[in-house]
Chain A
């Protein structure tokens, strides 16, 4: 016999065997591909949506000029305008453009007193020197400039329009998209809320665009810098300064030199970073959130892996005679193994390709939910579409191929081991070698290892990012261990239900099959367990979180009214209440007490966090902090004694690894301050952590009295609603919320952040239930001889369907029962290890029995129904049907 050429043989096997089987069972093949595709789609959509929200954090100034080489901003507070002159003098005649930037947010005024927070359209206001930025004209011609739009073709020669525009207080340039959507023309005005004021902005023109730059986003409003400073009460202050080094052969050296100069000049007054650093820092803010979502998005794929594995494993069993023939014809083990792996890869490829397609569609939905969460908790984004990304595309396809290879590896090995002699004993016993995957001691070892893994501390990365590797590994170990135990339980369950056969033949047949469980039974149960455990674990986490949040909200939000700028619609808002206004509020005779809060983002050791100033004495009069570690004495509450003291939130304590009594240095415009942590409190509203100090010290350090919010207690005989109405009429640019409303809004936002999680879990369960159906149909194919016999014995289709339904119900019940027990462990890991290490929040463990029961019933019900229909389909199978 001529020696077989491996490649040619594999090609032949692919055509004559794999594709033949696929053709003969197109629906089963399609389902396999679909399951894999669903897993990949979920992963891909979350990745794309994550990427879109990260990339939506853009440097708006870069949209109008060119990307800067360096930027500086104050580590705390703002930069004074006076540093501009200092910088120009220090840089001498170096060829460097210095671009001051002011940014703030605004929103449309409210139409009703209380409405969903974040539901109104927000704008990003960018203030640049409209005259100076023209020195940065891009090489390609813009379609229009800043100052030539107002003349509308009329004689411009008088030049008055130019000066008028420069002197106008409310002139704003808008995006083409906004102009079209809102039907705005030059000269039209529209109202926005900035700080506590409703301002009418007048459209001066469209933001110039250029083919060389991306189009400005719809929500970008551009103003002349001093006009925006005036509008936002920020005269003399800048958010950051950008620097562009002139191009040229030695530009890199000059960039390096500029960086060193800026660092040397800044000392502690500013930090120097590149636009990429800034994007990375924004990405760091959401990294833990995104990472957790990505990991969750892999649930569907993990469940799918079980199914692909069992499906290929089943195919090996069914095709063993055929493989035996091939082996007799001289096809080597290696070739057989490769042919199987190739088949798995083909599945992976088609599954991946379909998954990418589905995922891209899914990303358009996911991005809205993720964008909402990022907007509420991290920074302003109005992203509402996700773009296809080549990198993510290849990662998804690669993951699909890798997953299919992992799932195909064991079946390929099994197929390769089928001896040629097998052809001679057609009815030889299907010998299933006992593997680790059936070993109870191995399962117990996995569970024990998980128990140890939870003790590992998190991995720490730059930007105070923590990754609970031990927690995730423990969760995986728990799910795998539980899966193996599940197959053991399945057999025991069937044994226990043996008596049922006395009452029903269908039950007898069903339990007899389960007493000698095949690897496919075990895998289906394990897949189901995986999906249900993850879903139940997440339900426990979310319920625990919500229970904790409710307690915290009740304790923290005790004031009658909460007042903030109506322009504050996202976490990144810079809208504040002016001292004049908050003094007027505090002086209202209907108020019994008030606490004015100031806050600013600060950087400690390059890590961004929040510094908050409140009247600490107020927190003693109206205890509203939930303590992790209460202060040891009363000093923190006394103005004369608390200048060097601070309270830290639990997240802050975790991120910066400080405990009560530790000292921490914080930057202020007046220089560094050393604060001692007097106590640690719970705060579930801010993952970045916050440091709370006495407001009057804060105001002195930052020479700033702009308030972020004011919380007030009304007099006992005065209705908060009446005060709310009075204040709203007096200050139409303020958002004044009652206690009841704010609490409900916080819970709504909280639930909104978990909406994607629920969707991901649901998909995992759908995959698992489909997988159960696939498993049963594959098992019925194996049993076609038995089915023929049953038909010959007079069994009806319905009876055969019932037998399969009972088998499916038992399988699901077993998977769900074990999953419920395992999910308690997983819930514990999620709450006390993964969540605590990722976000630093201590949650109270709560088990939502009714929800878990409903989940269990739903899965068992769905499993039974699917099994019934598979049984009906199987009852009609011909004895010689191949697959």
Chain B
């Protein structure tokens, strides 16, 4: 039996969960209202900024290298399944959240969309 197809980027974008969209360079090009509400960031603060801004410092290097590897190989181990990670809020605090990332190629360029659902306080970052 085939596993169900992952939700499309559009489906995530129009869902109710906090959502962030990044371009092929890893720059944020859109966030939804739920994201702003959950993490305190405004569009002015994030649009055009690298995705690593909302990741804990210890994850940034790995994120950039992983992002680059995807550019080179177009394969990844973190796409299309839930990941429990920390997200940095606008006030600098960290919130454990469930990230679900999808990638889609549009007009020869990759786009990356992710929902970041905050988990209850006290949830450990590693599952």
Bound pair (A, B): no
